[in-house]
Amino acid sequence: MAYVLTLVRHGQSEANARGVMCGRSDPPLTETGRRQARALAAGLPRPTRLVSSPLARARETAALFGTEVECDARWTEMDYGDLDGQPMTALDRDGWRAWQSDPEHVPAGGESLVAVRARVAAACTELAAEAATGEVVVVSHVSPIKAAISWALGVGIEIAWRMYLVDAAVCRIDTSGSAPMLLAVNDEGPLHAGTVQPA
């Protein structure tokens, strides 16, 4: 049996449904998000270790997996500073250009992509050996999961701008070899496999 590091984006939150930037603010899951979380818990193997961002939308998703949840702040969403809770249009064209062209750029007093990459890479490295021998699941957010993918691929975090993660996305990294190997991005199989059809 092959074991992997499974990265799960939390189910849809109220901020996701409104299409606003959501970093350290802490909106709850929507009913759709709770359905997604229940489906993921049913569709994924029971984890031997379950790690979650401390934010409520991730913890609420992780809580349904039926395993003790360990919170690790390194998996918290990127800090968007004053942009948190704002629509995408809150940042003008020059602001977006600066952010996308420089991974060390700090938007609106928040956090740079490089900083997110550093904390997530450290967390991934610590989990790698255990993920090679057991079912390690991390419930997190868009930016940390993109950072973990960049870690697996051995590339810079600027690749984050070329990725899109859906709500309740499942990504898998094989950590059993000499270098991490990305196996899946936006795998919706577990989401559909665990969907309970209404009677």
- Residue 45 sits at φ, ψ, to 5 deg, of -60, 150
User: Could you give the domains of the chain?
Assistant: 5-193 (3.40.50.1240)
> Which tens digit of pLDDT belongs to each residue from 48-101?
999 999 999 999 999 999 899 999 999 999 999 999 999 999 999 999 999 999
Q: How much of the chain exceeds pLDDT 90, in percent?
A: 91
- Residue 69 sits at φ, ψ, to 5 deg, of -100, 130
Q: What angle do CA 49, 153, 147 make, to 5 degrees?
A: 60
- Catalytic, 77? Answer yes
* pLDDT surpassing 80 at residue 195: no
* pLDDT surpassing 90 at residue 194: no
* pLDDT surpassing 70 at residue 1: no
* pLDDT surpassing 80 at residue 197: no
Cα(46)–Cα(42) distance, integer angstroms: 9
Name the active-site residue from 31, 68, 70, 77: 77
Neighbours of 53 (CB within 10 A): 23
The whole-model pTM stands at 0.94
* pLDDT surpassing 70 at residue 43: yes
Cα(62)–Cα(116) distance, integer angstroms: 21
- Give Cα 16 distance to the centre of its chain: 13
- Catalytic, 10? Answer yes
